[in-house]
């Protein structure tokens, strides 16, 4: 099964990171945050969940779906400020330009999901972009960050993303000009009409084994390789995603809670 670990940027150079974002739309940054900082943030989440929501770390019977709004007090209290490590800031400065990206008022939106019943499969719903994709944007108009606070293994609830699809978005925008549908939903519909592989991915009637077809077998459109990958990693690891990569939540069929922080970093115009 495909997972998004295209390089070892703890050893790779910034040009290699940039090349990974240009080619696949995904780049791995192991050790972006110290493991002890990831542990501290994880403990804050469990403590808050136990005190305010009745969800206990050591009692899986208490684990239940939680609306993101229930965890918002942590976000507003800057409980996840350690996400903006010096290493992460350096990478953003190098990729987007020092002083050329917008500082979030509060770092880290929590993505939390608990284990549920299987079987795991590639989802067909809720594929979306978190950024606009207007005509005339720069090649890298920002970056979306995913920081792992605990281990996320395959089929453990990690976000699924379509490697390479940002290049389809860019090509479509160039062809369509200013009339291009920059919002997520009209853009998804437009690409679904023109790319059969995406149309099948985004419908429940896609034939055959979805894991095999969309994750294990190769696909190509207009010379662009396409594949669904899971965003997996270890505590303190980070994945960087091009803002025009379509992605979706996936079922957690693992044994532990999936705890990931995401942040959307916009480049300055």
Q: What is the pLDDT of residues 49-58, one digit of tens each?
A: 999 999 999 9
| CB 39 within 8 Å of CB 235 | yes
How does pLDDT run across 100-154, given as a tens digit for each residue? 999 999 999 999 999 998 799 999 999 999 999 888 888 999 999 999 999 999 9
| Closest to 147 in 3D by CA, of 100, 108, 187 | 108
218-224 average pLDDT score: 93
| CB 244 within 8 Å of CB 138 | no
pLDDT of residue 207: 59
pLDDT at 178 over 90: no
| CB 124 within 8 Å of CB 214 | no
| CB 142 within 8 Å of CB 243 | yes
Angle between helices 86-96 and 14-23 (to 10 degrees): 70
* Helix (H) or strand (E) segment spanning residue 240: strand 238-241
pLDDT at 7 over 70: no
* Chain CA centroid to CA 210, Å: 20
pLDDT of residue 269: 81
Q: At 206, is the pLDDT very low, low, confident or very high (cuts 50, 70, 90)?
A: low
| CB 269 within 8 Å of CB 203 | no
| CB 134 within 8 Å of CB 227 | no
Q: How far apart are CA 87 and CA 163, in angstroms?
A: 25
pLDDT at 8 over 60: no
pLDDT of residue 180: 75
How does pLDDT run across 23-37, given as a tens digit for each residue? 999 999 999 999 999
155-180 average pLDDT score: 90
Beta-carbon contacts of residue 153 (< 8 Å; ≥ 6 apart): 232, 254
User: Considering the chain, what is the average pLDDT of its residues?
Assistant: 92
| Closest to 174 in 3D by CA, of 210, 134, 125 | 134
């Amino acid at each position: 099964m495909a997972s998004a670990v295209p390089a070892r940027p703890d050893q790779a150079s910034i040009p290699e990171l940039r090349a990974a974002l240009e080619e696949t739309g995904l780049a791995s940054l192991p050790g972006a945050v110290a493991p002890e900082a990831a542990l501290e943030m994880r403990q804050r989440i469990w403590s808050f969940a136990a005190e305010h929501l009745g969800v206990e770390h050591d009692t899986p019977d208490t684990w239940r779906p939680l609306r993101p709004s229930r965890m918002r007090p942590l976000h507003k209290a800057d409980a996840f400020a350690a996400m903006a490590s010096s290493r992460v800031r350096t990478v953003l400065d190098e990729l987007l330009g020092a002083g050329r990206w917008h500082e979030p008022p509060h770092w880290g939106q929590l993505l939390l999901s608990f284990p549920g019943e299987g079987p795991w499969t590639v989802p067909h719903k809720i594929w979306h972009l978190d950024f606009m994709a207007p005509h005339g944007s720069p090649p890298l108009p920002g970056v979306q960050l995913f920081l792992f606070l605990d281990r996320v293994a395959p089929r453990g609830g990690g976000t699924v993303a379509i490697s390479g699809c940002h290049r389809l978005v860019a090509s479509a925008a160039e062809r369509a000009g200013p009339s291009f549908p920059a919002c997520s939903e009209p853009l998804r519909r437009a690409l679904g009409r023109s790319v059969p592989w995406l149309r099948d991915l985004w419908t429940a009637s896609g034939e055959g084994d979805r894991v095999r077809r969309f994750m294990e077998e190769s696909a190509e459109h207009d010379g662009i390789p396409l594949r669904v990958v899971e965003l997996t990693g270890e505590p303190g690891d980070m994945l960087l995603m091009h803002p025009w990569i379509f992605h979706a939540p996936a079922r957690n069929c693992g044994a532990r809670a999936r705890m990931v922080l995401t942040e959307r970093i916009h480049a300055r115009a």
